[in-house]
């Protein structure tokens, strides 16, 4: 793996693995965690010797700043195993770059590249049994950083903890979802931190999403905070529309998260000769396309579900259904991407990284 240079990690192995107690055929997403976790503290202006220790609760001071001011960023990535038992990551460099981009925006110190990749590599080797082969099985990896400094004074902390925890996952299919287009609420604003994978972006989403659920929708399609006329993201995923045979997705900005799945789908679509437009998308355009029958598909794109088809959307009190297509772009691109992730297809982009 890239930059996995030898570098000291203090390893304390668990004496009692939990793995035999886990039913790998009935996993709820994000509920079960592997035997070990990676921990690295930032104190006195530098990242200390990283540790891998048995997975377990943390002891933090109640005044730790993360609890009060939400100074926290995270990543979401996956490890995959092929039929020969080899383990792969998908574009992990992108996750590393992004967590530091998110960190910078929240005034969190940059995490060193060798620590990240060496820690990840060592953790995945230790807990390799938890990565099950089989198309759709994976290990969801959650790197995150929190402000641990005990103090409720409102400024950035000078003590942090960087951690990586891992959770075995199965093929994630939530069923086709219905989404509600936001007319009042926003997840991010100009000059804000919508582009960062920050805990606070999620906290602010739950209430509008809860209201949408009460109306029978599972997710919110976020629109621009100024006019609510342009589409930005779907729930916690980037969003694609297919009008006739053209795929459309919004350009990234400081309000939109630069998703790795999104940019991989764009690259795949370009390579395979699909029409793909990256441009601002008006809500009215999608409503018109739904009315005149040219709106063929909507799908979300993100690491957890890869591609998540949308079957209906609500806007200004009206409900629009999208017909189920047999050969959808959503299923085509989901398979194309997963074939690369699981080492079932040639990877001409060099996205797959062996652990």
Sites of contact with ligand PLP (CB under 6 A): 76, 197, 233, 236-238, 257, 259-262, 301-303
For ligand PLP, give the closer residue by CB, 54 or 192. Answer: 192
Hey, is 123 helix, strand or coil?
Answer: helix
Nearer to ligand PLP, 321 or 349 (CB): 349
E strand or H helix at 19: none
CB of 169 to ligand PLP, least distance (A): 13
Residue whose CB is less far from ligand PLP, 132 or 197? 197
Q: State which residue, 106 or 257, has the beta carbon closest to ligand PLP.
A: 257
Minimum distance from residue 76 beta carbon to ligand PLP (Å): 5
The nearest distance, CB 124 to ligand PLP, in angstroms, is 18
Residues in Cβ contact with 144 at an 8 Å cutoff, skipping those fewer than 6 apart:
72, 73, 74, 75, 162, 163, 164, 165
164/257 with CB nearer ligand PLP:
257
Rounded least distance, CB 264 to ligand PLP, Å: 8
Classified as helix, coil or strand, 65 is helix
Query: Least CB distance from residue 56 to ligand PLP, whole Å?
Result: 26
Cβ-based nearer residue to ligand PLP, 302 or 314:
302
Residue 148 or residue 205: which is nearer to ligand PLP going by CB? 205
Q: Which is nearer to ligand PLP, 236 or 341 (CB)?
A: 236
What are the residues whose beta carbons fall under 8 Å from the beta carbon of 62, sequence distance 6 or more?
Answer: none
Give 51 or 197: the residue with its C-beta nearer to ligand PLP: 197
Three-state DSSP at 233 gives strand
Nearest to 197 by CA among 113, 75, 106: 75
Q: How far is the CB of 145 from ligand PLP (least distance, A)?
A: 15
Q: Please, which residues bridge with residue 309 across strands?
A: 299
Question: What is the closest distance, in whole angstroms, from the C-beta atom of residue 141 to ligand PLP in the complex?
Answer: 11
- Backbone dihedral angles phi then psi of residue 30, each to the nearest 5 degrees: 75, 20
Strand segments (E) across 130-183: 138-147, 160-169, 177-181
- CA 146/CA 39 separation, integer angstroms: 11
Helix axes 113-126, 92-105, angle to 10 degrees: 130
**In angstroms, what is the C-alpha Rg of the chain?**
21
For the chain, the first-to-last Cα distance in angstroms comes to 6
Look at residue 280 and give its three-state secondary structure. coil
Phi and psi at residue 197, to the nearest 5°: -85, 85
Phi/psi of residue 137, nearest 5 degrees: -75, 145
Kindly tell me the burial class for residue 253, based on how many C-beta atoms sit within 10 Å of its own C-beta (0-12, 13-18, 19 or more): middle
Least separation in angstroms between CB 306 and ligand PLP: 9
Considering the complex, what minimum distance in angstroms separates the CB of residue 352 from ligand PLP?
Answer: 16
């Amino acid at each position: 793996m890239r930059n996995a240079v030898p570098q000291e990690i203090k390893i304390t192995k668990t004496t009692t693995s939990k793995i035999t107690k886990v039913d790998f055929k009935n996993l709820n997403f994000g509920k079960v965690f592997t035997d070990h976790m990676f921990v690295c503290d930032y104190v006195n202006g530098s990242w200390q010797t990283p540790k891998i220790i048995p997975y377990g609760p943390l002891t933090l001071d109640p005044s730790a700043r993360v609890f009060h001011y939400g100074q926290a960023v995270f990543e979401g990535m996956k490890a995959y195993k092929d039929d020969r038992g080899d383990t792969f990551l998908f574009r992990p460099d992108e996750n590393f770059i992004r967590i530091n981009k998110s960190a910078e925006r929240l005034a969190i110190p940059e995490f060193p590249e060798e620590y990240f990749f060496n820690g990840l590599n060592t953790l995945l080797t230790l807990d390799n049994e938890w990565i099950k082969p089989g198309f759709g099985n994976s290990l969801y990896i959650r790197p995150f950083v929190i402000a641990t400094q005990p103090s409720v004074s409102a400024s950035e902390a000078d003590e942090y903890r960087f951690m990586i925890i891992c959770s075995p996952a199965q093929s994630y299919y939530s069923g086709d979802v219905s989404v509600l287009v936001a007319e009042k609420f926003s997840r991010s604003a100009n000059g804000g931190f919508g582009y960062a994978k920050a805990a606070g972006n999620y906290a602010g989403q739950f209430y509008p999403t809860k209201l949408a659920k009460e109306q029978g929708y599972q997710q919110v399609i976020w629109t621009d905070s100024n006019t609510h006329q342009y589409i930005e993201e779907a729930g916690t995923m980037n969003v694609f529309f297919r009008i006739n045979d053209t795929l459309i997705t919004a350009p990234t900005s400081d309000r939109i998260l630069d998703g790795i799945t999104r940019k991989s789908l764009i690259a795949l679509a370009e390579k395979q000769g699909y029409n793909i437009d990256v441009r601002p998308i008006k809500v009215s355009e999608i409503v018109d396309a739904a009315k005149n029958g040219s709106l063929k598909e909507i799908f979300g794109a993100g690491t957890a579900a890869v591609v998540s088809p949308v079957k209906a959307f609500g806007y200004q009190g009206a409900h629009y259904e999208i017909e189920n297509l047999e050969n959808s772009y959503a299923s085509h691109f989901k398979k194309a991407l997963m074939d690369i992730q699981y080492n079932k297809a040639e990877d001409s982009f060099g996205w797959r990284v062996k652990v």
